[in-house]
Amino acid sequence: MNNLQKLLSLAQTAASNAYCPYSHFSVGAAIESTDGKFYSGCNVENISFPVGTCAEAGAIAAMIANGSTKIQNILIYAPSQKLITPCGACRQRIAEFSTPETIIYLAGIDGISKSYGINELLPSSFSEF
């Protein structure tokens, strides 16, 4: 299994564990850090909508909690034909822990279909590069 397949598998598993009783829309994210480790997260909704957590935020939190600090690749998956992109807040979260080489992959039920560099997804971000 190559690294992209591993990211897809991790994101799919995370999405299957999402807590989404309100939207019924599960999302999973998986990160390969620059030190070669893998992390995942899923969306976790709350009846008070602003305090829910996006899948990307969960994956980033897992990465930081386990000692990695930079994203090499991140894959966002939703079991949908339409690809979803990170929300604005998550774009900035991803940028915070990215390098200029970070790639963001988008996947749906048809597999990995699109990729972006961080500067394409969030031009003119608050970042150190």
* Residue 30 near residue 38, CB atoms below 8 Å: yes
Residue 45 known to be catalytic = no
Residue 72: CB atoms within 10 A of its CB come to 18
HEC string for 73-124: EEEEECCCCCCCCCCHHHHHHHHHCEEEEEEEEEEECCEEEEEEEHHHHCCC
* Backbone conformation region of residue 84, classed left if phi is above 0, alpha if psi is from -120 to 50, else beta: beta
Take residue 49 and report the two structure tokens written for it. Answer: 């909508």
Catalytic residue among 32, 45, 56, 128: 56
Distance between CA atoms of residues 49 and 45, nearest Å: 7
- Catalytic residues, which ones? 56
